[in-house]
Every structure is written in C-alpha cells, then in structure tokens.
Structure 1
Amino acid sequence: MKISREVKTAILVIAGIAFCIYLFTFLKGEDLFDKSNSYYTEFDYNALKMSSPVTIKGNKVGEIEDIKYDFDSGKTRISFTVTPQLKFSKNSTVRLYQDGLMGGNALSIVEASDGEIAQPGDFIKSEVKPGMISTLEKNFSGISEDLGTTLRSSDTLITNLNALVVDESDDGLKQTIAELNATLKTFKNVGFKANNLLSKNDEKIASVLENFDKTSAELAILIKDLNDANLSNTVKNLDDMILKLNQLVTGLAAGEGTMGKLLNDDALYDNLDNTSKELQLLLLDIKLHPARYRRILSKKEIPYEEPTQEQLNNN
C-alpha cells in the first residue's frame, strides 16, 4: 500500500508536535509517562517554584506539580507528586526548607511513625524550617547595631587621642619631637661611653672574671675538703664535749666531788685560807731568820719573833 505524501506530512507534523510537547514537559521537570501519586499541602506564603524537588531523607522522590493561591483562605496551595513506591503515614509532615545558599527551596517529607497510609489526593500538614540565610537576615540587624556602636566608640577614642596629642601652641609638636630627638641622642652618647669604658677595661674585666672563676674553684675544693674531713662528726663530738662540760659544771654547782665541796664548803675554804696565810708567814720567817732553822737539831733554841708590818709589806 502506497502512502501518499499528504499522509506522510501529517504524520511528521503530529510527531513533531508530540516531541515538542514531551520536550517542553521534560524541560519543566515533568514526565508524561510517569504515573505518580499527587498530594496537597499549603503554606502562608509562596517560596517554591514549579518542578521544585520533593525529598525524603535527602533523596528526591517527587516534585512540585502545581502552585495556586487560595483566595478564600489567603494561603498558597501546593500540589506535589511522589513516586508510587513511596508509602508514608497520613500524619507525616511536609517541611519547606532551603535547598542551597542561592535561596532555592524544596519540600521534604518527614515521616510519622503512626497513622494510616496516605492516599493520593490527601492533604498533608506542613511546616517551615528556617534556613541559614534567613537566620542571618534576622540576626543581621542586631549585628549591624553592635557594629555601629563599636564604630562610634572607635571614633570617640580617636577623637580623644587627637585632643590629647594636638598642642595648640605654635611649636608644640615640633618641640616635642625636638625633645624626643635630644633624649635619643643622650641615650646614644651614654651607649658610646659605656662601650668605650668596656673596651678600655677589657683586661681588668677579664681578670676579675678569671679571679672569680678561681675563687669559685677554690671554694668548691674547700667545701669538698670539709665534706671529706667528716665535719659533721667533728661537730657532733664538740656537742658531746659541751654536754659533758655542762654536766661537770652542774655537778660542781651541786657540791659533788672534792672540787664541788671545795667550792661550796665555806669552812673548808676558810681553813685553807688560814693555812695558806700561816704557810706564808713560815716561809717569810725562814727567809728572815735562816739561822734559826739551821740550829733545829742543836739544843739552843731561838725564840720566834713576829715580822713587822714593814717586813710583811716588803715581802
């Protein structure tokens, strides 16, 4: 059977129209051959566009099908489709959230753990999740106010510093710089003098350091010798000796022993004193009359004569 040219032309035109319709719906994000289930929700304002994605746990499962404004309720009614394989509770929530930094929005199905399975055409409640950009927009007013306060404080500080630095006299700033320059020159001269002093006395300083080094070494040797000499035992022995001497003095004070009795017995002291005086008189008599004692064995007796006061003073 031979097909006429007109029929071929008609078939070609119909195919072109069908392809254009499919291409247009495809560019809109729709699929003519996709059998999806449609559901409804509504928001107080419209932040979506046609073909905005519908996701569940971050996975795309559908898209926005229709957006209409309800004049009776004053809300935006959203129709969205999801794949028939997705089964979720009728008590779930459709959440509007920000999909990117550029301000794109999308819908997310937040599943509920109870309730009946949603059927195509059911109404699902909605909520709005604030995005990062909207949060920053809300807080930007407070940030800008704090920044303005900070800038005003900085301006006041700079003004006060200018008032402190500026000198109304003719040569105020010049005089300040001149005085600062003179002070720096003085410090420079002091530095030169100190450098010259150190340069001229390098040998003396080196000698002092060397002597200090030798003294330190000798002191270290002395400390080592004292440690080797067992100074601690010597101090301990001295302490024991002092303790025994203290005990001896205590005994003497208490009248213990011959020396203690001698120190504490007044009668014994008087007897010894009298004996010493008589012995002194005897020695003086021997010195004055030696002939008397040479004749002790003879029968002639020479009587004793007490020495005069002058003889006692001379001897």
Structure 2
Amino acid sequence: MKFSKEVKTGLLAVFAIATFIFGYNYLKGTNLLNKERIYYVVYTNVEGLDLSSVVTVNGLKIGKVQHITISSRTGELVVRFNVVGDFQFSKTSIAKIYGGGIIGGKSLSIIPDFTSSDVAISGDTLIGQREEGIMEFMNDRLSPLQDKIENTVVSTDSVLSAVADVLDKDVRESLKKTLKDLGEVAASFKESSKTLETILKTNQDKFNQTFDNLNKTSENFAILSDSLSQLEVGKLVANIENTIADFNAITTKLNNGEGSLGKLLNDELLYKNLEGSTKQLEQLLEDMKLNPKRYVHFSLFGKKPGSYQEPKQPKD
C-alpha cells in the first residue's frame, strides 16, 4: 500500500510535533512516559517555594512542583505538584513546606496518614502546612530577648539616675576616703609580704634543716613501727596472762589457808603459838646474855649450876 505525499507529510508533522512536546516536557523534568498523579495544596505563604521544587517522602524524591497560582479572591496560593510512581497515601496526608536556610530553597514533603483508608487520587487537594523557617525561628526567639534587653536598659537607667541622686557631695567624699584607705591597706599588705619574703630567704637554711630533722624523725618512727610489728606480741601477752593467773592462784590458796604460809596467815592459834615461841626465844637469848655461866660452864670440882630464874623485865 502506497501513501501519497500529503499523508507522509502529515505523519511527519505529527511525529515532529509529538517529539517536540515530549522533548519540551522532558527538558522541564516531566517524563510523559511515566505514570504520574496530580495533586493540589493551598497555602497563605509558600515562603520561597518555587517551580520545579522537589516533592519528597521521608527524604526520597517522588515528584516536583509544577505550578503555583494565586487566587484573586482570597489571595491564597494554590500549588500543583505531581507524584511519580505507585506510592499511595490517604487524602488526610499533609503536604508540608520545609527546609531552606538563609540562602537555601524550599521543598515539599508529603507526610502520609496511614490511619485513613481513603486513598488520594489524582486531582485531590491535600492539607497544607509550613515548617518554621530559620528567619521565623530567629524572630520568635529574638523578639522576647529584645524586649528583655530594652526593659533591662530602662531599669539600669533608672537605677543609675537614683544612684546619682543619692550620691551627694558628702557621700562621694566618703567613698573617696574609703578607697584611699583601701589603697593604704593594700600598700601595707604589700610591705608585710616583702618582710615575710625577706625572713623566709634569711632563714632558708634553718627551715631546710628543720625539714630534714622532720624527715629523719619520720624515718625513725617508721623503723620503730617495723620493729614493733616484728615482735611476737601475742606470745608476750599470753605469758603475762599466765603469770597473772599463777599469782591469782597463789593468792587464792593463801586466802583459803592452804600451805604453811596460808595457815600462818589464817590460823590464829598457830599465830599465837608462834608469837609465844618467839617471845620465849627472846627471853632465852636475853638470859644467855645476862647469865652466860649458867649455860656455858667448866668446873673442876663438879659444882652444879644454879636453877633458872626468869630475868627481870626492865622498867619503862
């Protein structure tokens, strides 16, 4: 089948027009071969959102802003954007303007609402929100600070005015005198510091010797402590306890009248007999001194010695 020149020319024109349209949209970032859906969102302020600004979900690019128009009746801005791919979200999802710094651009983020089963279709209008920008953040934070600074300046000015009124001539003179006295005290303290420094330098050798003696004393204490730690303290304490126990046993026996010494201490009759014997022995020794011939004698004729006579007690 043969086509006429007119048909061929028409087909070529249609192909050229289609190629032009496809190329133009492709250069704008729109691929006509991809499946896309169109959505709308309304804002009172787009804060620098521009055409071709990216549309993201959790940071992933899924589309871009295609058109922004302003309503002549309300002044609101209607943003049209596309979503490419099979990602589905509900009609109650939020389209939030975010990002952008002092010189950065804005983007559009889809915050899906998975609690609703009403899926958004192409042509639906989503809920619009705006993220607080850095300039708004700074304005919101700096405005209260500015008010506080202004109030502080006013209060400071009032205080200074009150101080100026209170500080009359006499008070100022008193303050000058006080400052002068403080200066003299500082000078005196400085002189005292110099004197103390001189004393320390003069007696440096004595101080060094004193510290050496303290070190030696500390070493001696350490040696003494080591010596004491090496003693068998437990054995020494045991010996002392045994000695005390033996002494207590002896004392108990004496108190109970056991043994000769115990009987002597506790038997009154034995004590009296011993006392009488001692007295008789003293009398015997006294008589031997007074009459030695009675006990030691020598007789050629066998003369008998006289009978014993008790010596007379000396008169007081």
Q: Same fold (TM over 0.5)?
A: yes
Q: What displacement does 1:256 show?
A: 3.0
Structure 2 match to 1:126: 127
> In structure 1, how many angstroms separate the alpha carbons of the residues matched to 2:162 and 2:279?
106
1:278/1:88 Cα in 2 relative to 1: closer, same or farther (>3 Å)?
same
Structure 1 match to 2:16: none
Q: Calculate percent identity across the aligned residue pairs.
A: 24
Structure 1 match to 2:238: 236
Contact 2:54 2:64 in 1 (8 A): yes
Aligned residue pairs total 285
Matches within 5 A, 1:86-97: 87-91=87-91, 93-97=93-97
Contact 1:91 1:124 in 2 (8 A): yes
> In structure 2, how many angstroms separate the alpha carbons of the residues matched to 1:68 and 1:288?
164
Superimposed CA distance per residue, residues 221-268 of structure 1 (whole angstroms, 9 cap, x where no aligned partner) = 444444555455334322321232123223322333332222222222
Structure 2 match to 1:193: 195
Matched, 1:304 2:309: yes
Identify the match of residue 283 of structure 1 among 276, 282, 285: 285
Q: What displacement does 1:209 show?
A: 3.9
1:303 counterpart SS class: coil
1:142/1:261 Cα in 2 relative to 1: closer, same or farther (>3 Å)?
farther
Matched, 1:109 2:106: no
> In structure 2, how many angstroms separate the alpha carbons of the residues matched to 1:187 and 1:248?
75
Structure 2 match to 1:53: 53
Contact 1:97 1:106 in 2 (8 A): yes
Matches within 5 A, 1:1-315: 37-43=37-43, 45-47=44-46, 51=51, 53-57=53-57, 58=59, 59=61, 61-69=63-71, 71=73, 74=74, 76=76, 78-82=78-82, 85=85, 87-91=87-91, 93-102=93-102, 105-113=106-114, 115=117, 118-121=120-123, 123-133=124-134, 134-145=136-147, 168-169=170-171, 171-228=173-230, 230-295=232-297, 299-310=304-315
Superimposed CA distance per residue, residues 286-306 of structure 1 (whole angstroms, 9 cap, x where no aligned partner) = 122211111499633333123
Structure 2 residue runs without a partner (length 5+): 1-19
Contact 2:41 2:95 in 1 (8 A): no
> In structure 1, how many angstroms separate the alpha carbons of the residues matched to 2:153 and 2:200?
53
> In structure 2, how many angstroms separate the alpha carbons of the residues matched to 1:268 and 1:153?
112
> In structure 2, how many angstroms separate the alpha carbons of the residues matched to 1:228 and 1:110?
83
Amino acid at match of 2:109: S
RMSD after superposition:
4.5
Contact 2:42 2:128 in 1 (8 A): no
Amino acid at match of 1:110: I
1:209/1:88 Cα in 2 relative to 1: closer, same or farther (>3 Å)?
closer
2:189 counterpart SS class: helix
Contact 1:39 1:120 in 2 (8 A): yes
* TM-score of the aligned structures, taking structure 2 as reference length: 0.67
Amino acid at match of 1:255: G
2:312 counterpart SS class: coil
> In structure 2, how many angstroms separate the alpha carbons of the residues matched to 1:106 and 1:252?
115
> In structure 2, how many angstroms separate the alpha carbons of the residues matched to 1:129 and 1:148?
31
Superimposed CA distance per residue, residues 175-203 of structure 1 (whole angstroms, 9 cap, x where no aligned partner) = 33432333233333333433443444444
> In structure 1, how many angstroms separate the alpha carbons of the residues matched to 2:239 and 2:85?
106
Structure 1 residue runs without a partner (length 5+): 1-17
> In structure 2, how many angstroms separate the alpha carbons of the residues matched to 1:84 and 1:234?
100
* TM-score of the aligned structures, taking structure 1 as reference length: 0.67
Q: What displacement does 1:128 show?
A: 1.1
Q: What displacement does 1:100 show?
A: 0.5
> In structure 2, how many angstroms separate the alpha carbons of the residues matched to 1:253 and 1:33?
131
Higher mean alpha-carbon deviation, 49-58 vs 239-248, is at 49-58
Structure 2 match to 1:6: none
